[in-house]
Structure 1
């Protein structure tokens, strides 16, 4: 196998949760360009539309409706693919929600539980559902969307629920990696910095935060969705075949300071 071939995913079945959003769409495109047949999980077809538009470029991309916080639905999608003789061998746990700007003493029970239910429980439900079939097949690669927020405490905005949820994602990654390595299933994560997405740029409070974010970033800039997707492609491919349990910083050097 050549080095170039190690990055290829020809024939692989990949699932991307939240695959219609900015980073999710970039992940879907990266995997599809490498030859994978991609299924995006979104709540509605409208949410998946940006990813589905990639079909016009000849990519094999489909959609399944689902909420990652619904464990039964995640089990059903995984079982459906397996029953058709086409189980997912790549899972990108991208779907998550952000929560910032609220001091810890003002966070409500509902806000805390919502973040944990999606970012932690949902990621675990998906990993468990698709991971079972990967274990049976004896191979698979799961890539989780962590965050530098799982390592550092962001400033100036307080965001304890989000930070805690991403720290949990990192340790879920390590724990599953240690358990599933014997079954040929690798589990890694990427930990991005601030990424230029419509959601981030649309938050009015971020206009004042961004200059401080950049001042605390050695590269002096935010990241782009495709830069995160490139790291995910690497971790999903055989190019990273000796890696499992790794949290890969994609943060423009933010965590160096």
Structure 2
């Protein structure tokens, strides 16, 4: 660093009781002021900027999210979590029009978010592209995509019809790809980056028992690896891809199995219970926000410890 040399009068000269003392002091101050003013701005250090509050990193103001399968259950719970963090715009894509419209009205009423519903079958790639185009037209952009649409069958493999097996793969895996591709094109064109959150399952890592669900398990394993593949491809565009893999959750879709499987599911889960939909919201918010800005290609298990056994 460059140094500045300043020649000051001697202390005893300044302090000596002569008629010129004040003149000497004034002369010294003038020298100091001139020297300070001559220091280049690049050499002047300022106080360190105040660190960003970590909680601010979770805020979503100015961002628009698309949630497939967001009319109820896990999708709705995660959409609500995003809205609570200040999300500016929300698009819910679902087949269930009544539930979807109601969900948007509820979220707008509670959080003031601009929420719109689009009826969509994720298997229809033309309709998916049209829906994503409509979201950008209506809400201005797509920053977050949460892929929650999915179905499950409990059918023994020897009895599984190929058509029914294909339906599960087509909705859960192919539908996730079609939606990610359509939204990803908009994110790439906008150049702002984004976050794509796939909903996998612990079923993509282990085989659930005792229920037979080979198609679902295969589809979720595919979803997780699709996520990892896209995370590598799209990192150059600052698009992060991650997945949330829930364990057994207490949702309307699972209620039908309460009498047959709930006891077994709880017994095999170290925490001894099923998860609640809102227990996924915090992870979804983290992945959607800047709080996870260096996280991509990760599958996050939220299963009450089921997969550790």
Which of these residues, 117, 120, 131, is aligned with residue 63 of structure 1?
117
TM-score (norm 2): 0.79
Distance 1:51 1:225, change over 3 A: farther
Distance 1:83 1:51, change over 3 A: closer
| CA deviation after TM superposition for structure 1 residue 116, in Å | 0.8
Query: 2:286 — aligned with what?
Result: 234
Query: 2:169 — aligned with what?
Result: 116
- Residue 12, structure 1, aligned to residue 63, structure 2: yes
Runs of 4+ in 1 over 3 A off after TM superposition: 81-85
Q: Which has the larger radius of gyration?
A: 2
Query: 1:223 — aligned with what?
Result: 275
How many angstroms apart in 2 are the aligned matches of 1:229 and 1:95?
A: 16
- 1:83-94 matches, cutoff 5 A: 83=137, 86-94=140-148
8 Å Cα contact 2:91/2:135 also seen in 1: no
Distance 1:110 1:16, change over 3 A: same
Query: 1:249 — aligned with what?
Result: 301
Distance 1:99 1:85, change over 3 A: closer
- Tell me whether 52-61 or 70-79 shows the greater mean CA deviation: 52-61
8 Å Cα contact 1:10/1:34 also seen in 2: yes
Deviations 1:15-71 (A, max 9, x none): 000111211111111111111111101124303123432222143221111111111
- Residue 30, structure 1, aligned to residue 81, structure 2: yes
Q: CA RMSD in A?
A: 1.3
How many angstroms apart in 2 are the aligned matches of 1:211 and 1:191?
A: 21
Alignment coverage as a number of residue pairs:
254
| CA deviation after TM superposition for structure 1 residue 124, in Å | 0.5
- 1:122-161 matches, cutoff 5 A: 122-138=175-191, 139-161=193-215
How many angstroms apart in 2 are the aligned matches of 1:156 and 1:9?
A: 41
Task: Look up the SS of the partner of 2:218 in the other structure.
Answer: helix
How many angstroms apart in 2 are the aligned matches of 1:52 and 1:85?
A: 16
- Tell me whether 134-143 or 206-215 shows the greater mean CA deviation: 206-215
Task: Look up the SS of the partner of 2:136 in the other structure.
Answer: helix
How many angstroms apart in 1 are the aligned matches of 2:270 and 2:146?
A: 28
Distance 1:112 1:46, change over 3 A: same
Query: 1:53 — aligned with what?
Result: 106
Unaligned 5+ runs, structure 2: 1-51
Deviations 1:4-23 (A, max 9, x none): 11111001010000111211
8 Å Cα contact 1:135/1:183 also seen in 2: yes
Deviations 1:102-154 (A, max 9, x none): 11111001111110110011110000000111112230000010000000000
Unaligned 5+ runs, structure 1: none
- Tell me whether 39-48 or 221-230 shows the greater mean CA deviation: 39-48
TM-score (norm 1): 0.95
Which of these residues, 234, 252, 256, is aligned with residue 202 of structure 1?
256
